[in-house]
Amino acid sequence: MDYEPGDPIPQGYALATRPSRALGLAGLLTLGTPYLFSLTVATITLLSGEQDGRTAPLLIPVAGPFIAIETLGAERAGAFWLAADGVMQTLGVLLLAAAFAHEDVYLKRQGHASRETALDVALRPEVQLGFGGGSVRWQF
């Protein structure tokens, strides 16, 4: 449950923290999108036998594009796009680090069991067996 500082804490709940979801998602997208592009280019050129492995550094996240500028002998536009790729991946890593440094405060249910996710419930139906019968409860 979301929590705004100064709001009263309902009975049965306590304050808890988690990494910032917004920063984490931004970091994953900022790192993942350019890295996926680099990975695709490197894989295609390596499998086709072109470039004699000079694109292999693109398989390395963050540092790979900067290394590839040298291995490919990139100039002007090529060097610019490889550098931009490396800078975006670096920014993504920094955003992920910021997500863990800046925690979100939320209300967590206390007591017998914390709130279960839909996947938890789907994977664990409640089964009760007795002497004269039984029941199955499965929420989804």
Q: Please give the Cα distance from 117 to 108 (Å, whole number).
A: 13
pLDDT computed for residue 120 by the predictor: 56
pLDDT at 29 > cutoff 80: yes
Cβ atoms < 10 Å from Cβ of 140 = 7
- 111-131 pLDDT, tens digit each: 755 555 655 555 666 777 767
Joined together, the tokens standing for residue 30 give: 């900022």
Please enumerate in sequence order all residues whose Cβ is within 8 A of that of 115, keeping only pairs 6 or more positions apart, or say none. Answer: 109
Rounded to a whole number of angstroms, the distance between the first and last alpha carbons of the chain is 20
Mean pLDDT of 33-59: 92
Joined together, the tokens standing for residue 108 give: 């967590």
Q: What percent of the chain has pLDDT over 90?
A: 52
Mean pLDDT of 77-100: 96
9 secondary structure, DSSP code: P
pLDDT at 24 > cutoff 70: yes
- 54-76 pLDDT, tens digit each: 999 999 999 999 999 999 999 99
Mean pLDDT of 2-24: 86
8 secondary structure, DSSP code: P
Q: Please provide residue 20's backbone torsions phi and psi, each rounded to the nearest 5 degrees.
A: -60, 120
Mean pLDDT of 97-120: 75
* CA distances, 140 to each of 117, 119, 120, 122 (Å): 10, 8, 10, 6
